[in-house]
């Protein structure tokens, strides 16, 4: 029996990069997968076609997840479509970087709306719909623990907030057996941060393992946290960073 057979997993930002790898792994482990995405419809539909070839069921929901009402409606629609939900993985996020004096007046509100409010609203809505034993997993960033250079104040602050949120969710939902955990990747080889990109060498400087990680490695950790084997793990932060934080 596959680890997630009979389960329904929602992956917010699940159509590309780390999110797509997580969607693939959820499907490979037997879950029905709902992928919430904002744009790039062609990529989302291509991933659905790929996964439809397996034994899993895949559902796409296109919405602006920074819009609270739209996000909640999308989660409600997915739960109605499948008749349940068991796993929520929040991947979507944004980075606003640059000199402190150059931040736009609305930069704080924009980045916290997507990087903090969105996963909180999604977790709150999911908790209303999940049965006992649900899983809430948020993808953060290792810069929450260690900021190696200038220009990332708001990004680091938004990712640091996720640790407190995760610990609070663990306490709020523990009596129902719903776990909440945070995964903090370091440099991962994706479109946004390619292993052969202009910043790649600098990104690898703090690492003990001198290479970029892969999306599938992150997905493997998420898959474990989503499984029944991780039922006694909650409120935890897992760094998958090649030793960035060592």
The pLDDT tens digits for 135-175 are 999 999 999 999 888 999 999 999 999 999 999 999 999 99
Q: Is 103 a catalytic residue?
A: no
Local confidence band at 55 (pLDDT 50, 70, 90 cut-offs)? low
**pLDDT > 90 in the chain, percent:** 89
Whole-angstrom distance, CA of residue 233 vs CA of residue 86: 16
Cβ atoms of 239 and 142 within 8 Å: the answer is yes
> 68-101, pLDDT tens digit by residue?
999 999 999 999 999 999 999 999 999 999 999 9
Q: Residue 113 region, left (φ>0) first, then alpha (ψ -120 to 50), else beta? A: alpha
pLDDT computed for residue 56 by the predictor: 78
Q: Are strands 135-139 and 58-62 parallel, antiparallel or unpaired?
A: unpaired
Q: 94 vs 114, 156, 246, CA distance in Å?
A: 7, 11, 25
DSSP codes joined into one string, 129-142: H--TT-EEEEE--G
Q: Please, which residues have CB within 8 angstroms of residue 97's CB and are 6 or more apart in sequence?
A: 151, 152, 154, 155
Domain 8-240 class in CATH: alpha beta
Across the range 48-65, mean pLDDT stands at 88
- Are 218 and 139 within 8 A, CB to CB? yes
Mean pLDDT (the chain) is: 95
235 pLDDT tier (thresholds 50, 70, 90): very high
Residues 6-38 have pLDDT tens digits of 999 999 999 999 999 999 999 999 999 999 999
Residues 6+ apart with CB under 8 A from 197: none
**pLDDT given at position 123:** 98
Residues 228/134, Cβ–Cβ less than 8 Å? no
Cβ-based neighbour number of residue 112 at 10 Å: 15
Question: Residue 53 above 80 pLDDT?
Answer: no
pLDDT for 94: 94
pLDDT value at residue 199: 84
Question: Which is catalytic among the residues 103, 155, 224, 238?
Answer: 155
pLDDT, position 52: 84
- pLDDT bin (cut points 50, 70, 90) of residue 54 is low
Q: Which residues are bridge partners to 90 per DSSP?
A: 12, 138
Contact by Cβ (8 Å): 35, 23: yes
Summarize the confidence of residues 39-67 as an average pLDDT: 90
Q: Helix axis angle, 41-52 relative to 17-28, nearest 10°?
A: 20
Percent of the chain scored above 70 by pLDDT? 98
pTM recorded for the entire structure? 0.96
Residues 6+ apart with CB under 8 A from 5: 29, 30, 31
């Amino acid at each position: 029996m596959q680890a997630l057979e009979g389960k329904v997993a929602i992956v917010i930002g699940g159509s590309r990069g780390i999110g797509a790898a997580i969607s693939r792994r959820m499907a490979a482990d037997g879950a029905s997968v709902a992928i919430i995405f904002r744009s790039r419809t062609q990529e989302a539909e291509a991933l659905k076609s790929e996964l439809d070839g397996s034994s899993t069921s895949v559902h796409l929901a296109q919405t602006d997840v920074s819009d609270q009402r739209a996000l909640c409606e999308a989660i409600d629609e997915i739960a109605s479509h499948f008749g349940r939900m068991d796993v929520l993985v929040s991947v979507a996020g944004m980075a606003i970087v640059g000199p402190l004096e150059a931040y736009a007046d609305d930069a704080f509100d924009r980045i916290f709306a997507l990087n903090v409010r969105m996963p909180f609203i999604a977790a709150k809505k999911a908790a209303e719909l999940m049965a006992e034993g649900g899983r809430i997993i948020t993808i953060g960033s290792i810069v929450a623990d260690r900021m190696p250079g200038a220009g990332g104040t708001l990004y680091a602050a938004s990712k640091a907030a996720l640790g407190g949120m995760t610990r609070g969710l663990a306490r709020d939902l523990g009596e129902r057996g719903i776990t909440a955990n945070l995964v903090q990747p370091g440099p991962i080889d994706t479109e946004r941060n390619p292993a052969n990109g202009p910043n790649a060498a600098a990104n690898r400087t703090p690492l003990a393992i001198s290479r970029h990680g892969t999306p599938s490695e992150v997905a493997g950790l998420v898959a474990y946290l989503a499984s029944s084997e991780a039922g006694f793990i909650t409120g935890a932060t897992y760094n998958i960073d090649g030793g960035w934080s060592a």
